[in-house]
A and B are shown apart, each in its own frame.
Chain A
Amino acid sequence: MKSRKPSSVAARIAQYAVLCLGAIFTLLPFLWMISSSLKTPAEIVKIPPVMVPAVAQWSNYATAWAAAPFGRYLINTVIVTILTTVGVLITSVLSAFAFSRLKFPGKDLVFSLFMATLMIPGEMLIITNFMTITKLKWIDTYQAMVVPWISNVFYIYLLTQFFLQVPDALYLAAKVDKCSDLKFMVRIMVPMNKSAITTIAILNIIGSWNSFLWPLLVTNSQEMRVLSTGLIRFQTEAGTSYELVMAASCILVMPIVLIFLFLRKYVLEGVAFNGVKG
């Protein structure tokens, strides 16, 4: 025992050193954002770069916050993100279940058609989608920002593959017990693929939170704009006020950090579940 201790201490030290190094690399951009948000315009462009500003410019936060109605933007972003994520989960789970379990004529054909849409670049669809939204008179509404994004073929494909891995025996056994398809899906399929569904939800939340061009295209009033459109307020044709962009970014990141702190247990559980199952 005694002779093994020093080596295990050394192993521990090595372990922590690697972890610390990883943590530093991961945190550096975050710390840099916070430090930049407190700099003066001169310090921002200073070469060699200044790590810690001489005097913290807290006023940057006030200036950034006052540049746009960020409170309103935040509410809109949350609404749009929640609605699209719920929508995406419902459509993805339902269609993945249909493609993986149900038997209906033309199943392969429909699936191929779905896949075909993956080959059309999103940029090509912007104008067509925009014209549809205009004809529906949805400009400047939540549905314009939500409805085009409540189905995602890539997520459907992903989830179908996960659902296909669930053994047929389970389905057939459930059938013997007179379990309906819907009940089987909700009671067995969804819980068994919790990690895949969590992954899709997280991907979609990130995508929706960061989306910029489409929300800008379909909204005109300040009341309907989202957070990402607020960040471009600090750019002009002659340059960008990076200290204000960084201050605004810090404000925007705050809710996500808070959510993570509160839900840390669940997020980690999802990841752990994935690991055990893998």
Chain B
Amino acid sequence: MKRKSIPCLLLAAAVTVGTLTGCSANADSASTGASSTGASSAASSAATSDSAIQPCEVTFWHAMTGQQETTLTELTDQFNSENEYGITVTLVNQGSYDDLSTKLTANAAADTLPDLSQAYNSWLIPYLDKVVHLDDFVANDYDNYEDIMESYREETSQFGFINAMPFNKSTYVYFYNKTMFDELGLEAPQTWDDLLTIGKTFLEKKNMVSLGFDDMAGMLEATLRQNGCDYVSEEGALFDTDAGQQAIDFIMEMYNNGYARLVGEDGYFSGPFSNQLIPAYIGSSTGVSYITHDGWELGVAPLPGNTEKAANTAGTNIVMFSKDANQQKAAWEYLKFLTSTDATVKWAMDTGYLPVRTSAYESETYQNFMQSDATATASYAQADAFFSSPAFDGSYDIQNAVNSKLEELILNKADGATAMKELVDAVNGAL
């Protein structure tokens, strides 16, 4: 027995040593993190100094594929050949959003982040000290920042400084089968009551479930906001109010009456919607490329509201991590180019994402484009109602907790009061 216990002890010791090494590695990255805070304050000096930019290479990590990547490459080639400073931007595809996020986390720890990367705000929280503050660049060297859509400006300054420039933005819209709606004499919904009427009509006349949501947590947040109620903050759930109760009652009514259903294994409603198995769903505007409508007409409408209008926005922004002043200035030139009216119009028309500037929406080219593109029109129609989910330590856990809790409540056909209590517990428990 004694002989056996020695290896066991050593085994435990080995594990401890391993853990300690891990800890010291973290401490290491924390200290380099501190030094890069110095680099971000260097951003201000880089922005204000007038010295010309030296030729250099700027690396941009992204998660764009297919047509999106083609257009991004075209725009980047244009920038590389046209810029007067000899800046070369190198695009690096890093897989999906999840892969890109993992890769950024690893490189933040090793202090080898790229000059630029696509990122959601929620990813940045562990290494926010490595993000270059763009305030001085915007103040000294940017053409009409007020022209950027207000909700995007709010989103990219939620940490108290400008942490990114908006890039591939989308919004949730209401896709519907116009042929079926016409047949039943229905119009696209404007309000929650319309959704209930549509649900009732489809159930009675065609025995069909009439609505689905690709993103459950996003649905809850939008519905709360449509009733003038806040969702969550770092302190926990904010929706335990009368307005919140109304919103949750409405959601449970939709599901319990069979007016709405959960998504299947494929994770998106574009499949069943294309097959006319569901007459309408709410999902990302970029999902339109996955909808095939053979023999029926596709309709796209802004999200319905109740006391207010509210529409989720999705899609990433571009964050700068460069430490060197010259690199920062070069990267900024590229960001200026990508968010310019012409570039954002081209980007939006080719990819189905939305322009980031008001002047882009108002440009003749995009106005003409909207006349033939129902998704773009519907997205623009709700531009005043855009909101983005707040990102903070734990916001991702809340999203996961809410997604599974909502699913459970719907499967159990819970009543509104139970749903409220359990959702509040789920949110607060995730923090």
Chain A positions within 8 Å of B, measured between CB atoms, are 40-42, 44-47, 67, 108-109, 112-113, 115-117, 119-120, 124, 126-128, 130-131, 134-135, 139, 213, 216-217, 220-221, 229, 232-239, 241
Contact = CB atoms under 8 A, between A and B. Distances in A.
Nearest to B29: A131
Interface of B: 6-8, 10-11, 14-15, 18, 21-22, 25, 29, 59, 65-66, 68, 92-97, 99, 102-103, 105-107, 109-110, 112, 170, 266, 268, 270-272, 274-275, 277, 283-284, 286-287, 289-290, 292, 294, 314-315
Contact of A235 (B14, B96, B271, B287): B96
Contacts, number: 115
A234 B274 contact: no
5 contacts: A45-B271, A234-B65, A235-B65, A238-B268, A238-B283
A47 B11 contact: no
A113 B66 contact: no
B109 A130 contact: yes
A236 B11 contact: no
The secondary-structure label for the interface of chain A is helix
A130 B99 contact: no
A51 to B, nearest CB: 16
A113 B25 contact: no
B7 A236 contact: no
Nearest to B111: A134
Contacts of A241: 66, 290
Given A233-B65, A235-B65, A109 B286 contact: no
B106 A239 contact: no
Contact of B103 (A41, A116, A131, A217): A217
A182 B91 CA distance: 51
A139 B272 contact: no
B11 A113 contact: yes
Contacts of A229: 95
Contacts of A135: 110
Contacts of A113: 10-11, 14
B289 A238 contact: yes
A138 to B, nearest CB: 12
Given A47-B275, A112-B10, A120 B18 contact: yes
B110 A238 contact: no
A104 to B, nearest CB: 15
Nearest to A43: B292
Nearest to B314: A237
Contact of B284 (A67, A109, A238): A238
A128 B109 CA distance: 9
Given A116-B11, A232-B95, A238 B103 contact: no
Contact of A116 (B14, B96, B99): B14
A127 B284 contact: no
Given A47-B272, A112-B7, A216 B314 contact: no
Contacts of B292: 40-42, 45
A220 B104 CA distance: 12
A127 B8 CA distance: 27
A115 B25 CA distance: 23
Contacts of B289: 238-239
Nearest to A47: B275
A213 B275 CA distance: 35
Nearest to A48: B275
A109 B10 contact: yes
Contact of B94 (A47, A128, A216): A216
Contacts of B93: 233
B25 A238 contact: no
Given A45-B275, A232-B96, A237-B314, A216 B11 contact: no
A235 to B, nearest CB: 6
A117 B10 CA distance: 12
A3 to B, nearest CB: 55
A117 B107 CA distance: 24
Contacts of B103: 216-217
Contacts of A42: 274, 292, 294
A238 B275 contact: no
Contacts of B290: 41, 238-239, 241
B106 A130 contact: yes
User: In the complex, which of the residues B106, B289, B315 has the most CB atoms of chain A within 10 Å of its own CB atom?
Assistant: B106
B15 A120 contact: yes
A236 B62 CA distance: 12
Contacts of B270: 45, 238-239
Contacts of A44: 271
Q: Which 10 A-B pairs have the closest CB atoms?
A: A45-B271, A112-B7, A238-B287, A239-B290, A134-B110, A42-B292, A116-B11, A238-B286, A130-B106, A131-B110
